[in-house]
């Protein structure tokens, strides 16, 4: 049975394993593609190396996650707009048309002030989708800190394209099914994972937390969504390589089962 939506693997799902090992695992297990999390692994930031890995393993790169995390502030330089132009270079080189980008941190004031219009301008300039990802308030005990600007929630912002990440919606205590309905055709990309709704960004294997992952995937199909579903899970605590592979297989099987249903 063919699945209505492709299921791909984020290279972050094998961390601390390498980008190369993510390609190998995705191809061997049977994922439909790979999302590149551009990060501190030098290969992930090397456009030619990524293109060679995709060709060698005969698996497409479906999206590029720009290096906009705290830990990747110096990858591809420190100028945020330069990073997003560089992400377009990688996307064009490997033949994909989606870039995932986080909203700015509040302390990036100039970048944040220009961000909404700047993303729209980049899409026109490069002819590529920049899908802004939902984030969450940072919480410590009863205190909340709004770390992102103009907002951690992209639904109410004037973005043409949005990424919905279920681990992030779990941390933010949002309903991801309603997000699909509210976004309509602005939903351009999906990161599937699970969460128990804690203050931590958990990225659990879908089905192991409290988020409505199955219902979400069903709503994605009913919406007529034509983008990618990317498994972005945390396997850092896997006891060994076999356990990590079992986690990747379980996540893929969960997605395909509920997308087909």
The phi, psi pair for 198, rounded to 5°, reads -80, 175
Helix or strand (DSSP H, E) at 140:
strand 138-140
Global pTM reads: 0.95
CA distance 195 to 164: 14
Helix (H, G, I), strand (E, B) or coil at 34: strand
In tens, the pLDDT along 63-81 reads 999 999 888 989 999 999 9
Average pLDDT over residues 90-99: 98
Residues 43 and 90: beta-carbon distance below 8 Å: no
CA distance 236 to 163: 24
Distances, alpha carbon 63 to alpha carbons 2, 160, 210, 236, 261, in Å: 21, 17, 27, 22, 25
Query: Domains in the chain and their CATH numbers?
Result: 7-260 (3.20.20.150)
pLDDT of residue 250: 98
């Amino acid at each position: 049975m063919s699945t209505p939506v492709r299921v791909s693997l984020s290279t972050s799902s094998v961390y601390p394993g390498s980008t190369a090992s993510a390609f190998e695992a995705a191809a061997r297990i049977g994922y439909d593609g790979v999302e590149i999390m551009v990060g501190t692994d030098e290969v992930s930031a090397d456009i030619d190396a990524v293109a060679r890995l995709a060709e060698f393993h005969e698996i497409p790169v479906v999206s590029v996650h720009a290096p906009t995390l705290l830990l990747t502030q110096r990858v591809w330089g420190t100028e945020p707009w330069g990073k997003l132009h560089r992400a377009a270079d990688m996307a064009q080189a490997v033949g994909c048309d989606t870039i995932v980008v986080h909203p700015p941190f509040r302390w990036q004031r100039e970048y944040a002030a220009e961000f909404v219009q700047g993303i729209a301008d980049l899409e026109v300039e490069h002819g590529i989708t920049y899908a802004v990802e939902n984030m969450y308030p940072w919480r410590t005990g009863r205190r909340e800190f709004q770390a992102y600007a103009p907002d951690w929630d992209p639904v109410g912002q004037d973005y043409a394209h949005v990424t919905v990440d279920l681990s992030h919606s779990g941390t933010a205590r949002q309903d991801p099914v309603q997000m699909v309905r509210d976004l309509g055709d602005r939903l351009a990309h999906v990161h599937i994972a699970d969460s128990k709704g804690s203050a931590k960004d958990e990225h659990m294997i879908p089905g192991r937390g409290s988020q409505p992952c199955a219902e979400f995937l069903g709503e994605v199909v009913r919406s007529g969504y034509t983008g990618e579903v990317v498994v972005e899970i945390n396997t850092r605590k896997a006891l060994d390589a076999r356990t990590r592979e079992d986690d990747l297989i379980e996540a893929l099987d969960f997605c395909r089962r509920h997308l087909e249903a």
